[in-house]
Structure 1
Amino acid sequence: MRIKSVEARWVQIPIEESRQHVSDFGRLRTFDAAILRIETEDGIVGWGEGKNAAGSAGAYGTLVHLLNHEFGPRLIGRDASEITPIWESLYNGSRAQGAADRGHVMPELARRGLTVAAISAIDIALWDIRGKALGEPVWSLLGGRSADSLPAYASGGWADAAGIGKQLQSYVDAGGFGAVKMRVGSMDGAAHVSAGRVQAARKALGPGIDIMVDAHGTFTVAEARRFAAMVAGCDLAWFEEPVTADDHAGLAEFRRSTHIPVAVGESECTRFDFADLAARRAADILQPDPAFCGGITEAMRIGALASAFNLRLAPHLWAGAPAFFAGLQVIAASPAGYLVEFSLGANPMIHDLSKEKVEVRNGRIALPDTPGLGLDMNEDVIERFTKR
C-alpha cells in the first residue's frame, strides 16, 4: 500500500457547439479539471479530482503543478491507507507533527483555496485505493449506504422565459426527475427578468415538480430579497447561492427574510467554513464540492455538521467523474444525505471519463457497488484530452 507515483493532468474536453450554454461565467466551450492518478507499489490505482473554479470555467495549470511538484513528492513512500493522517499533514504543512501531538489544527498561512483543492484530489484518490485494496465500495468503508439508489435532480436551466418551460420539461422527460434546477442572477441583467423566467417555469411544470434556482452568488442581499419577493408564489424548493460566499453575515440576513430554503457551499472549503454557516443559521442545505471542500474525508465531516444542526447535505456535483462518484459515496453514507446533482448541461467530464454509462432512471441513480469509487476510468480519454 506504499505510494509509488502521483500524477496530475489538466484535462480539457471540448463541448460541442450545439450543447454550449451562456451564463454569468460566459460561454463555456470546454470542460476542465485537474485529474489525479495515484498508484501504489502493488499496482493499485486510485483516481481523484481537484477543482479551482465553479463548473467547467477555469485554468488548472497551477493546481496541476502544485499536485505534481509540491504535494505529490511528499506522498511517495507513504502508506496509502493513512488517509486522515495524510489529510492533516498536508493541511498543517510544516507544523503537522505539532498539530498531531497537540490534537488541534495548526495550519500554515496558505491553508485554503488551491491547497485544499489539491488535498481534495489526493483524498478522493486515496479512498479509491483503500476501497480497491479491501474489495469494498467506499460507502461501505464510510459506514454503509442508506439505499441502493439515490434520488437525483436535473441541473441546468439557462433558457429565456419563452423557452425555460420546454427546457426543464425535457429534463423531467429524460430521466423521470421530480426536481429541476435553473440558473438566475446576473446572467439575466435584472432581478425581474430572473423572476419572469421562474414564473414561466412554474407555469409550465405545474405544482408537482420541485424547482430550485441558483444565482451563483451574483445578487446583493437587497437584490436577492427583491427576487425572492417576486417569486414568493412559485413554491421554490431552494435558492442556491443567493449572495457571494464572502458574505456569511449577508447570507444569514437574507435567510431570515425569506421562507425559501437556502442552499450554499460549492464555494466553501473545509469543515471550518461550514461550521460558521451552520452556527450563523445561514443555510438549510449544505453543498460541499468533494473536489474543492477537502475530499471525501472532509465532506463526511461536513455531513456530520449538517446532521448535528438538522440540515440537509446535497453536494455540488457539477464536476468530473472522480468528484461525481465521490459525491455519490458521501450522500449514501451520510445521515444528512439528501439529493444528487445530475448535470443536464453538456458534461463530458463525467460521461466521457466513465466507461460505464452514468444515467438517471425514474429520478434515481444507482449506487455503484464495485470496489473503491465504483468508477471505471477511461484512461484513453484522459490521454487524448490532456492539455499540453
Structure 2
Amino acid sequence: MTRPTSPIAKIEHFLVPPRWLFVRIETADGAVGWGEASLEGHAEAVAGALEAVRDRLIGTDAHRIEDAWQTLYRLGFYRGGPVLMSAISGVDQALWDLRGRALGVPVSDLLGGRVRDRIRVYAWIGGDRPSDVAAAARARREQGFDAVKMNGTEDLDWFAGPAAVADAVERLGLVRDTGMDVGVDLHGRVHKPMARQIVRALEPLGPMFIEEPVLSEHPEAIAQLAAQTTVPVALGERLYSRWDFKPFLERGAIDIAQPDLSHAGGISEGRRIAAMAEAYDVALAPHCPLGPLALAACLQVAAAAPNFVIQEMSLGIHYNNAEADLLTYLTDPAVLAVEGGTVAVLEGAGLGVTIDEARVREAAKDAHRWRNPVWRGRDGSLREW
C-alpha cells in the first residue's frame, strides 16, 4: 500500500504586533498548520530566509517533517545561527501542527505521549529597568502564578562596583519576601568581573536559577561560575542547535537548558536538545517571551519531556501591549489558563491552540518593525541590552 502524500502548496508569513512572525503552511488538499519564527529585532531577516524555504519545500510532502528539517538545515551549506534556525523553527512547528491536526491528536502524542498532566509556568516581572518588583510579583500571584523571573540588574559597565551588587540583592529579597519562587536573569549584560560577585551575593537568597550569568559566547567563564555556586545555572536562548548546547553540557556548565523553540530548530530540534540534556542530568525549561504559537510548541515538548521543569510564559510581559498580548490572536484563550502555578497539557489537535486567521491577516497589514532599545553608559559607551 502506498502512503498518500500531502504536497505543500503555500508557505506564508505574517509580521504581527507586538514583535512576532507567524508562519502558515497549507497543502494542496487544504490542510493547514501554524508556527512561529519570531526573532526579536530581526524579523525582516527571517522573512527573507523564508524565501529559500519556499524554494526548497513547495511541492514536497508536508508529513515528512524530519526530511524537511534536514533539507533546510543541510542543503543551504551555511548552517545554524539565529536567522536561519528561526526560519526552520517556524516551518517545523507549522508542519507538526499540520500533522497533528491531520491525525486528530496533539503533537505530544506524536512525541511519545505525555509524561505529565499539568505544566508549571512562570511569568516575567519588572521589565528592563525593574523598580516596584514586589508589587509586580504580588500581581502575578493574583493571576495564578507561583513563580516569576526578574532582571537581576540594570545595564552595567564591565565593572560597576559594590553598589550594583547591593542593589541586586535588595531587589531579589523584596520579591522573595512575597513567597514567590524567583528566577534571576542577568541577561548576558553582566561581564565576568561582576558576574562572580553578583552570583555569590544572590546565593543566600535562594533564587530558583540564575539565567545567562554571562554571554553564552563564553562557555569557559560560565563553567567557572557554575563551579563556584550552588544556584542552578540556566542558559540557552542564544544557542540555536544541539551542537551549540554540546560544549556546555560536556563542560558541566549548565543545570537548566533553555532552548527557544522559535530560534533553536522548532519542536524537532527542541525535543532532541531535551533528550541530550537528559543524558547529562540537565533539566529543561524552554525560553519563550514570545507569542502563542511559540508557547504552544514549548508546551507540547514539555508535556513529553521527562526532564522538563518549568515554562516561561509571556502573558502581560512588558514587550506586549493593549494592542497585542499573548492571548490576542487565539480563538479560545481559555486553553492557556493559569491555575495553581500551572497550565493544563494542551489536549487539542496539533499545537493545541487555534489562531484567529482573520485577525492575524488584518494585523499583518501594518507589519511591525520592533527594535530593542539602545543603552549607553554615562561615558557614552554601548552596554548590553
Q: What is the TM-score when the length of structure 2 is the normalising length?
A: 0.86
Alignment pair present for 1:385 and 2:363: yes
The reply on whether 1:45 has 2:32 as its aligned counterpart is yes
The structure 2 residue matched to 1:374, chosen from 344, 349, 352, is: 352
Query: What is the CA–CA distance in structure 1 between the aligned matches of 2:295 and 2:255, rounded to whole Å?
Result: 22
Name the residue aligned to 1:111.
80
Which shows bigger deviation, 336-345 or 258-267?
336-345
Amino acid at match of 1:77: G
Change (3 A) 1:174 1:193: farther
Cα distance in 1 between the residues matched to 2:140 and 2:246? 34
Q: CA deviation at 1:240?
A: 0.4
Match of 2:268 in 1: 297
Structure 1 residues 267, 166: closer, same or farther in 2, change over 3 A?
Answer: same
Work out whether 1:345 is the aligned partner of 2:321. no
| Aligned-residue CA RMSD (Å) | 2.0
Q: How does 1:128-139 map to 2 (within 5 A)?
A: 128-139=97-108
Whole-angstrom distance in 2 between the partners of 1:204 and 1:363 = 16
Name the CA distance, whole Å, in 2 between partners of 1:380 and 1:238. 40
2:44 equivalent to 1:61: yes
Identify the residue that residue 67 of structure 2 maps to in structure 1: 85
- Paired AA for residue 353 in structure 1: Y
SS of the aligned residue for 2:275 comes to helix
- Rate the CA distance shift 1:78–1:281 in 2: closer, same or farther, 3 A: same
Q: 1:7 aligns with which of 12, 15, 27?
A: 12
SS in 2 for 1:385: helix
Contact 1:7 1:72 in 2 (8 A): no
Matched position secondary structure for 1:352: coil
For residue 258 of structure 1, what is the aligned residue in structure 2?
A: 229
Classify 1:162/1:287 alpha carbon distance in 2 versus 1 (closer, same or farther; 3 Å).
closer
Cα distance in 2 for residues equivalent to 1:37 and 1:223:
44
- Measure, in 2, the Cα distance between the counterparts of 1:293 and 1:352: 25
Aligned AA (2:317): G
**Aligned mates of 1:303, 1:270 — CA distance in 2:** 11
Q: Secondary structure at the match of 2:21?
A: strand
Q: Distance in 2 between matches of 1:194 and 1:171?
A: 26
Quickly say closer, same or farther: Cα 1:41–1:198, change in 2 above 3 A: farther
Residue identity matched to 2:242: R
Please tell me whether the aligned partners of residues 4 and 41 of structure 1 are also in contact (alpha carbons under 8 angstroms): yes
Q: Which runs of 5+ in 2 are unaligned?
A: 1-5, 368-385
CA distance in 2, matches of 1:74, 1:183: 41
Q: Is residue 287 from structure 1 mapped to residue 265 from structure 2 by the alignment?
A: no
| Distance across 2 between alignment mates of 1:307 and 1:246 | 23
Q: Which residue in the other structure is 2:147 paired with?
A: 179
Letter in 2 for 1:158: G
Does the 8 A contact of 2:232 with 2:255 survive in 1?
yes
- Counterpart Cα distance in 2 of 1:245 and 1:211: 21
TM-score (norm 1): 0.85
Aligned to 1:243: 214
Q: Post-superposition shift, 1:134?
A: 0.6
Q: Does 1:221 align with 2:192?
A: yes
CA drift of 1:208 comes to: 4.2
Question: Displacement of 1:221 after TM fit?
Answer: 1.6
Q: CA offset at residue 72 of structure 1? A: 1.3
Letter of the structure 1 residue corresponding to residue 153 of structure 2:
G
Larger RCO (CA within 8 A; separation ≥ 6): 2
User: 1:195, CA displacement in angstroms?
Assistant: 4.4
Matched, 1:123 2:92: yes
* Alpha-carbon distance in 2 for matches of 1:121, 1:252: 31
Structure 2 match to 1:145: 114
Pairwise CA distance, 1:366 = 1.4
**CA–CA separation in structure 1 for the residues paired with 2:337 and 2:165:** 29
- Ranges in structure 1 where 5+ consecutive residues have no aligned partner: 14-30, 95-107
Distance in 2 separating the partners of 1:376 and 1:134: 16
1:337 Cα deviation after fit? 1.2
The alpha carbon displacement at 1:384 in A equals: 2.2
Q: Is the 8 A contact 2:130 2:151 kept in 1?
A: no
Change (3 A) 1:198 1:283: same
Deviation at 1:114, TM superposition (A): 1.2
Q: Does 1:325 align with 2:296?
A: yes
Q: Does 1:275 align with 2:241?
A: no
For residue 371 of structure 2, what is the aligned residue in structure 1?
A: none
Percent identity of the aligned residues?
Answer: 34
What SS does the corresponding residue of 1:120 show, helix, strand or coil? helix
Amino acid corresponding to residue 3 of structure 1 in structure 2: I
1:382 partner SS: helix
CA distance in 2, matches of 1:279, 1:165: 38
Q: Distance in 1 between matches of 2:327 and 2:286?
A: 19
Asked if the contact 1:242–1:251 (Cα under 8 Å) also holds between the matched residues in 2, the reply is yes
Counterpart for residue 32 of structure 1: 19
Equivalents in 2 of 1:8, 1:154: separation in Å?
27
